[in-house]
Every structure is written in structure tokens, then in C-alpha cells.
Copies of this chain bind each other. A is one copy, B any other.
Amino acid sequence: MLESAEIGHRVSKAAYVRQLPKLREALLNAQYDLAQKRRGPLLILFAGIEGGGRSETANTLNEWMDPRHIRTVAFGPRDCEELARPNAWRYWRALPPRGRTGIFLNAWYNEAIVAHFKGRIDRDALEFQLTSIRHSERMFVDEGFSILKFWIHLSRDAARQRLKELARQKDRRWELTPDVLERTKSYYKFRDVCEEVLRESSTSEAPWYVVEGEDPRYRNLTVGNIVLETLNRTNAARAAPLRMSHSPAPAPPAIDNVLLVRSLDLSRKLSEAEYDKAMPKWEGKLARLTRTRRFGKHSLVLVFEGADAAGKGGAIRRVTGALDARQYVIVPIAAPTDEEKLYPYLWRFWRNAPGHGGITIFDRSWYGRVLVERVEGLASAYDWRRAYDEINQFEEQLVGGGAIVCKFWLQISKAEQLRRFKEREKTSFKRFKITPEDWRNRKRWNDYEHAVADMIDRTSTEIAPWTLVEAEDKRFARVKILKTIATRLSKGLD
């Protein structure tokens, strides 16, 4: 697929000057349309052969369009904050919001290609990364993104010519790092890797556009026209993003009506004496483990889900009691803010991914997508169904970045919930915990139960398993949670 970009495409100056004013006006119009309709965002990736003019093209787009609506980010070596977090964190942090355009230079593709070319990752690892990239891009498209991937190409002769030119320019000579020279020297080997990556990652939702980089006029005009066409298409689409042709499979029906959460033995309990003996043991273990040097290479992500009044808050306070307040952040999840609504639903969780040595405790979480949003009809069936895979991938990325992920579902009976609601209404300092919404949710108990069953079926993975907690007895629940965290942490740090 690269040959057609090695044949010396050119545009004459006359043709360029003739086409440019119209193109620029149309681009501005399309851009303002996107902003006003809050469509998109448009994400433009530039990758390619060294010297092909990726950043020059990015600069040109900024010049032609309104740069106030564009955010251009180049990804180089990771800084310390990025190194302490999952690989994808820095890309999420740089995502454009709806209505805007983001330009990424040397993002995930460059990273994968160079790693493989330099032998740091083998073919299997490369395949794995490409699969993960395909999933992510598909999710972004499902979330309304338009993704444009430009491969700015040069033939071997043109690439060599470019290096020579660079070497002659005093203030750009520094760009010729040993890496760059190596890639140009082994042009065909490097080109092979690139071609394979392009082939494997050119999908219907986010295809590659290979553009010959030798002639700036041809390159800029080609890229500009494709950007315009994409912006127009994005603006013309219905408000809902384009759906993939193969819809995510529905959950298997629970024919016999036997659900895992219903089969929990809610009569399990601990006496005060047992609690007073067990609790300090696990608290102590957790306290010691989070203060070890080894924990400085890991992080801890705790997810608490459960019906209203299931005891999430109390359990979280028992966990934090064992932790140093400087280490953890508790993120209570309510409806997204208007800023958060401009990004994919996972954005606000990525934002809170802990760095090495840190702990983030989610009081409710991304599982809202397949629980409350599903049950209350806030997400379409297409959207909550695809969320299972997206969530699994998200957690895989967290774990890949050194996180230990513990997810707790706190289960109580409907009768116990009623008892706690009534108790809360009586106790003054708990009064803010009970709202009319809690009473509403209670009416949909059965719907929630099915949603929970599906959620556990589909997202309890080996790397990030769900722990079902019999929470009818608070003492039993709290000890089980502390014990689970301490045990998983102990294993994870080994």
C-alpha cells in the first residue's frame, strides 16, 4: 500500500494558489460547524517516514484553520508523570473534546513501530498492541470521534535526500539522532515493519491515508482535502455516531432465573469478638504492604459497587483507616460534569488513574455504564453492550501499567436495604445519605439484579476479578474486603 506514495506526486504552484483560498474558507466553515454542533471530535494522527513533513503539515493545518479550535500534541519520550501510569494515560489526557480537533504527532503507531523495529517487542507483542489499538480506535469512533490517520511517506531516495538537506541546515541538524539515521539506513527493513502495521490497523472505521511527503504542496493539499471531507461528513451525520455493522452480542438470558448474586449466602456474619480479632490483622497487613518499597512500582485501584445502603461508604472508611492519607484519593462518582460530557465516558476515570505508589478508590465507577445507565435507559443498548469489552480493555491497560485492580460488589437483601433506609432517616448524621432517588432505584431492584449478573459474567477477568461481598452483616463484609485487598496486594507485589 506504500508504492503509490513513492512515485513523485506533485502539484504546481499555479494549481496550489488557485485551489487554496476555497479550501481554506471551506475548512474554516466546517470547523466552526463542528464547534457549534458539538460534533466529533476530529482526531488526526500523523505518522510516517522521517523527514516526510509530519509537523510541517500539522503547522499548515493550524495556519489554514482556526488554531483556537485545534490542539496539537507531539508525543516523545515519556516524562516522569507519564512513566508512572499506564501507557495510554497520556493519550487520554491529550484527547480533544467534542467540537474540537486534536492533532497527534507520533502517537501510538510510532511507539509500536519503533519498539518492534528496534527489537524491544517481538511480533506477538506487536500484534497484541495492534489489537489493543484497534479496540481503542473503535471505541473512540463509537463515542463519536472521527479518526484520520495520515501516513506521510517518502521513497528511499527522497528520504536520503531529505537527510542530506537537514544535515546542511545548522539549526535543524540536531534532529538527526542516531535513531533517525538508523531508520533511514535500514530503509527497507523499516518500511516493511511500517507496511505491516498499516495493513493490520487500517480498519473501516479508521483507515489509513498514505500521502507522499516529498512535495509540500501536494502533501498539504491532499491532507487538507481529506480533513475537509471528513469534517463535512462528521457535520452531516445524524447526531448519533455511526454504528458498527456487527452489534455487540446481548447477554445470555438467565433462563432458570438463578443468578450468582442471588445465590450468595447472606446469612454469613462475624461476631464482635471475631471482627476485633480479624480486622487488626488485615489492616496491619494492608498498612505494611502499601508502605513497602515494592509498592512504589505498583498502584492500587479499588472499585466499590453495590445497591444504595449496601455499605460502600463504611467499607471504604475501614480501608482508608489502614492507609496513609497522603497516598489515596477517593473519587465519588455522580453524574458527569459538563466538561466530562465532552469526552468519552471512560475519560473521567482515566483522569484519575493513580501513579505508582498511589491508590485511587472509586465509590461507584465506570460500571455505571452497564448498571444505572443500562437500567435507567440513559445509554442505548448498543452503547452499554459494547461497554463490557471496553471496560475489560481499560482494566487490562491499568494492570499493564502496574495497577492491582480490586472490584467489590456489595450485596444485601431487599429487606435489609429497607431496614437501613429507615434507620438512616432516623439518624441525623446519616441524613444526607438518603435521597428520593434511592427510593426510586429500589423499585427497579430486579432489573438491577440482572444487570449485575451480566456485569459480573462479562467483566470478572483473571487480571481484574470481581469479589462478591455478602454485605448483610457489615462486619463480615468489611473483613472480607480488607482481606481480599491485602491478599491480592501481597500476591501482586511478589
In the complex, residue of chain B having the shortest beta-carbon distance to the beta carbon of A433:
B32
Could you say which of B103, B321, B330 contacts A325, with CB atoms under 8 Å apart? Answer: B103
Could you say which of B68, B288, B337, B340 contacts A330, with CB atoms under 8 Å apart? Answer: B68
Could you say which of B79, B338, B431 contacts A80, with CB atoms under 8 Å apart? Answer: B79
Are B288 and A63 within 8 A (Cβ)? no
Contacting B at CB under 8 A, from A423-466, are 428-429, 431-432
Determine, out of A9-17, A70-78, A148-156, the stretch whose residues face the partner at the interface.
Answer: A70-78
**Copies in the assembly, this chain:** 2
Measured CA separation A325–B70 after assembly (Å) = 9
CB-CB under 8 A from A61, the residues of chain B are 325
Contacting B at CB under 8 A, from A45-85, are 55, 58-59, 61-63, 66-74, 79-81
Residue interface bits A112-128, CB-to-B below 8 A is 1, else 0: 00000000000000000
Are B428 and A325 within 8 A (Cβ)? no
Are A324 and B59 within 8 A (Cβ)? yes
Are A66 and B36 within 8 A (Cβ)? no
Are B25 and A428 within 8 A (Cβ)? yes
Measured CA separation A32–B424 after assembly (Å) = 14
Contacting B at CB under 8 A, from A11-41, are 25-26, 28-29, 32, 35-36
Could you say which of B63, B80, B105, B338 contacts A317, with CB atoms under 8 Å apart? Answer: B63
Are B63 and A326 within 8 A (Cβ)? no
Could you say which of B74, B324, B428 contacts A55, with CB atoms under 8 Å apart? Answer: B324
A320 within 8 A of B: yes
Are B68 and A316 within 8 A (Cβ)? yes
Are B73 and A326 within 8 A (Cβ)? yes
Are A32 and B429 within 8 A (Cβ)? yes
Are A432 and B35 within 8 A (Cβ)? yes
A3 within 8 A of B: no
In the complex, residue of chain B having the shortest beta-carbon distance to the beta carbon of A57:
B325
Determine chain A's interface SS by DSSP, over half rule: helix
Are A29 and B316 within 8 A (Cβ)? no
Contacting B at CB under 8 A, from A276-299, are 288, 291
Given contacts A36-B432, A316-B67, A317-B63, A72 and B326 within 8 Å (CB-CB): yes
Measured CA separation A432–B55 after assembly (Å) = 29
A171 within 8 A of B: yes
Measured CA separation A291–B171 after assembly (Å) = 9
A400 within 8 A of B: no
Could you say which of B32, B35, B339 contacts A337, with CB atoms under 8 Å apart? Answer: B339
A193 within 8 A of B: no
CB-CB under 8 A from A67, the residues of chain B are 316-317, 320, 325, 330
Are A329 and B71 within 8 A (Cβ)? yes
Are B171 and A288 within 8 A (Cβ)? yes
Are A429 and B316 within 8 A (Cβ)? no
Query: Which of A's residues lie within 8 Å of B, judged by CB?
Result: 25-26, 28-29, 32, 35-36, 55, 58-59, 61-63, 66-74, 79-81, 103, 105, 171, 288, 291, 313, 316-317, 320-321, 324-326, 329-330, 332, 337-340, 363, 428-429, 431-432
Q: Can you name 11 extra interface pairs (CB under 8 A) apart from A25-B429, A79-B80, A171-B288?
A: A26-B429, A29-B428, A32-B431, A55-B324, A61-B325, A67-B325, A68-B316, A70-B330, A73-B326, A79-B81, A338-B338
- The 6 A-B residue pairs with the shortest CB-CB distance, nearest first, are A72-B325, A74-B326, A32-B432, A28-B429, A25-B429, A68-B330
Q: List 13 A-B contacts (CB under 8 A).
A: A25-B428, A32-B431, A32-B432, A55-B325, A63-B321, A66-B313, A68-B332, A71-B329, A74-B326, A80-B80, A80-B81, A81-B81, A171-B288
